[in-house]
Amino acid sequence: AQKITQTQPGMFVQEKEAVTLDCTYDTSDQSYGLFWYKQPSSGEMIFLIYQGSYDEQNATEGRYSLNFQKARKSANLVISASQLGDSAMYFCAMRDNFNKFYFGSGTKLNVKP
Amino acid sequence: KAGVTQTPRYLIKTRGQQVTLSCSPISGHRSVSWYQQTPGQGLQFLFEYFSETQRNKGNFPGRFSGRQFSNSRSEMNVSTLELGDSALYLCASSLITGGGYTFGSGTRLTVV
């Protein structure tokens, strides 16, 4: 069964520092996709970054990078130079071979000034 | 361009009633998915529609149903509401099924 695990319910980071949000996944599919979304208090889910299971390079999008370790089945999100506006819930998600999506329980990130 | 639009934003219903939520995807997107988000269960996939056909379905009872129209707009219906149906219902659209989804702001349903 597909499963996404985010073990950090809450995280604090100092403004301008980098932070890593953990995500591990469990699947026997060979082809899958990994996503990170940000959900501010307004409720809208904002797409941040995508990594395909066959992509050899780690995905990067501005201050976001995805540390993809396929053998360990981990897809950690790294946010560099944290900003106050980064305070939000962050969800890791996986798309399986059947295009079904599975979400982790989320990590609440608080950026301190 | 306009994002994913969900209406209404907030809704209060009584147990036993039914409710219909609406989602207008980004123009050109043909895939629409629905999710239920609760503090206890997190984000759970309800169903996905592509070109008016249900492509995927999550593990929800038959009280939860949906449809997609020819213009890709989608509706979700919940019949015989229960207190446990109180949640944020999120709709997401994508160009293709399984693609990178763009989410709407959600409809917060409260069942009393």
Determine contact, residues A101/B33, Cβ cutoff 8 Å.
Answer: yes
Point out the least confidently predicted range of A17-21, A74-78, B56-60, B82-86: B56-60
Phi, psi of B83 (to 5 degrees): -55, -35
Which residue of chain B comes nearest to A106, CA vs CA? B42
Spell out which residues of chain B touch residue A98, defining contact as CB-CB under 8 Å: 56
Q: What is the pLDDT of residue A97?
A: 82
Cβ separation A45–B90 shorter than 8 A:
yes
pLDDT band at residue B101 using 50, 70 and 90 as cut-offs: confident
Stretch A47-53: mean pLDDT: 91
CB neighbour list of residue B49: distance below 8 Å, 6 or more residues apart: B31, B32, B33, B55, B66, B67, B68, B74
Q: What is the pLDDT of residue B34?
A: 95
Q: What is the pLDDT of residue B99?
A: 63
Cβ separation B43–A100 shorter than 8 A:
no
Task: Identify from B30, B34, B35, B43 which residue to disrupt to test chain A contact, counting A C-beta atoms within 10 A and taking the largest count.
Answer: B43
Spell out which residues of chain A touch residue B106, defining contact as CB-CB under 8 Å: 43-44
B60 to chain A, any CB pair closer than 8 A? The answer is no
pLDDT above 80: residue B54 = yes
Secondary structure of residue A42 in the 3-state scheme: coil
Element (H, E) at A51: strand A46-52
pLDDT above 70: residue A87 = yes
Q: What is the pLDDT of residue B91?
A: 94
When CB atoms are compared, the residue of B43, B102, B108 closest to A47 is B102
Q: What is the pLDDT of residue B40?
A: 83
Taking all residues of chain B, what is their mean pLDDT, rounded to a whole number? 92
Q: Is the CA virtual torsion A91, A94, A98, A99 positive or negative?
A: positive
Task: State the smallest CA–CA distance between residue A64 and chain B in angstroms.
Answer: 16
ω into residue A113 within 30 of 0, thus cis? no
Gap between the Cα atoms of A48 and A77, Å rounded: 10
pLDDT above 70: residue A56 = yes
β-strand pairing of A74-79 with B87-94? unpaired
Q: What is the pLDDT of residue B70?
A: 95
pLDDT band at residue A43 using 50, 70 and 90 as cut-offs: confident
pLDDT band at residue B97 using 50, 70 and 90 as cut-offs: low
B95 to chain A, any CB pair closer than 8 A? The answer is no
Cβ separation B56–A91 shorter than 8 A:
no
